[in-house]
Amino acid sequence: MNSDQYPHLRRLRRSATLRDMLNENRLSASEFIYPLFVVNGSGVRTPIEPMPGIDQMSVDIAVEETLRAAESGVKSVLLFGIPNDKDSTGSGAASPDEAVQRAVAAIKKASPETYVITDVCLCEYTDHGHCGIVAGNDVDNDATLPLLAQAAVSHAQAGADMVAPSAMMDGQVAAIRAGLNEADFSDIPVMGYSAKYASAFYGPFRIAADSAPQFGDRRAYQMAPSQGREAMREVEADLEEGADIIMVKPALAYLDVIKEASMRFDTPLAAYNVSGEYSMIAAAGQAGWIDRERAMMEVLTSIKRAGADLIITYSAIEASKFIARG
């Protein structure tokens, strides 16, 4: 075949400089949100076994970690709290004395420019591990809503810049939006965990946050992995209720959902590169089966290419340093 009869796409790949010039999707540290697990006490840094490099941290250590993230260019953190005591209603979620609320205040004092987002859910605070009030063997959706709103308001009172409800209760965004408005926090945005799937990739997180259900599972309120059209209905519902940012969680197994949401809705879109996705790469990298850094960047790039504007990732600092090296 005459070489003039087919496109010469390889011509554009021969030079590293030209490849960089033609890069279609560029990751930036400013797009990353770094999740932190905060606990009570001081001087606490407890490694999370299935998540190498990630720790449970007391508030003082979380402040240090936030400053380290800021030095690498990561401008936002997402806080999850692990209380000392749990009860059936998750009452600690709204306590001003709990780790999340104290961490918010401490981080904003030490690093005012850091954008602090808080997870709003009850699963870490309930003794049964479910995301809301349990009635019999089911979660009572409507009884849970005011408790989520109370937790969100307590986070705003502590100084949170944004709240992110993850309980997957119908109407949670509307309840939280109303609660924030009534408490004079109408300027606080809400990032909805809009399309949150009942995923096996959450396993390491449940160890990290001590939030595994004590009975049953969460498939009655989180989405089945098979559902695509339903995800769009969930996103639409969150937007109707007042969500300012929408989210797809997990990311890697749901790139098609991210792409569809990005094309259908003209709203900022976040994707959560969850614990199991992080742990797979970390474990395979430690075993020498893959190049950890290259695999990490390939996954994050795929999430960006699918249409995410923001990426919540435990690799935020590591990826930012990789980007800085060029």
More confident residue, 198 or 205: 198
What is the structure's pLDDT at 218?
74
Please report whether residue 251 resides in a domain.
Answer: yes
Confidence of residue 155 (pLDDT cuts 50, 70, 90): very high
- At residue 88, the pLDDT reads 87
| CB-based burial label for 74 (10 Å; 0-12, 13-18, 19+) | buried
In a domain, 17, yes or no: no
- Judged against a pLDDT cut of 80, whether residue 82 lies above it is answered with yes
**CB within 8 A of 10, min separation 6: which ones?**
none
Question: Is 145 part of any domain?
Answer: yes
Say yes or no to pLDDT of 2 above 90: no
**pTM of the entire predicted model:** 0.94
Band (53; pLDDT cuts 50, 70, 90): very high
139 domain-assigned: yes
Looking at residue 31, which CATH number applies to its domain? 3.20.20.70
Q: What is the mean pLDDT of residues 9-34?
A: 91
Q: What letter represents residue 41's amino acid?
A: G
Q: Catalytic site residue 196? A: yes
pLDDT band at 134 (very low <50, low <70, confident <90, very high): confident
Whether 174 has a pLDDT exceeding 90, the answer reads yes
pLDDT of residue 216: 65
Tell me if 247 is assigned to some domain: yes
Query: What CA–CA distance (Å, rounded) separates 24 from 278?
Result: 24
From 75, 86, 108, 249, active-site residue: 249
Confidence of residue 154 (pLDDT cuts 50, 70, 90): very high
Given the structure tokens 């996954």, which residue do they identify? 299
Tens digit of each residue's pLDDT (9 = 90 or more) over 269-318: 999 999 999 999 999 999 999 999 999 999 999 999 999 999 999 999 99
With beta carbons less than 8 A apart as the criterion, state whether 267 and 213 touch: no
* For range 20-42, the mean pLDDT: 95
Q: How far apart are CA 155 and CA 178, in angstroms?
A: 15
Q: Which of 75, 86, 108, 196 is catalytic?
A: 196
Query: pLDDT, tens digit, for every residue of 199-245?
Result: 999 999 888 877 777 766 777 888 999 999 999 999 999 999 999 99
As a whole number, mean pLDDT of residues 175-196 equals 98
What is the mean pLDDT of the segment spanning 47-61?
Answer: 97
95 pLDDT band (50/70/90 cuts)? Answer: very high
Asked if residue 3 has pLDDT above 70, the reply is no
Please confirm, yes or no, whether 108 is among the known catalytic residues. no
Closest CA to 319 of 33, 21, 19, 23: 33
Residue with tokens 């209905």: 233
Nearest to 78 by CA among 112, 48, 104, 43: 104
Residue 13 counted as domain residue: no
Mean pLDDT taken over the chain: 94
pLDDT attached to residue 221: 82
Q: Based on the structure, what is the number of domains in the chain?
A: 1
| 82 within domain boundaries | yes
**Is pLDDT at 177 greater than 90 in this prediction?**
yes
Distances (CA, A) of 4 to 1, 7, 13, 169: 8, 8, 18, 59
Residue holding tokens 């810049």? 161
Range of the domain at 138: 26-325
* Residue at 19 is within a domain: no
Query: Which 3-state string (H, E, C) describes 145-214?
Result: HHHHHHHHHHHHHHCCCEEEECCCCCCHHHHHHHHHHHCCCCCCCEEEEEEEECCHHHHHHHHHCCCCCC
pLDDT at 195 > cutoff 90? yes
In this predicted structure, the answer to whether residue 248 has a pLDDT above a threshold of 80 is yes
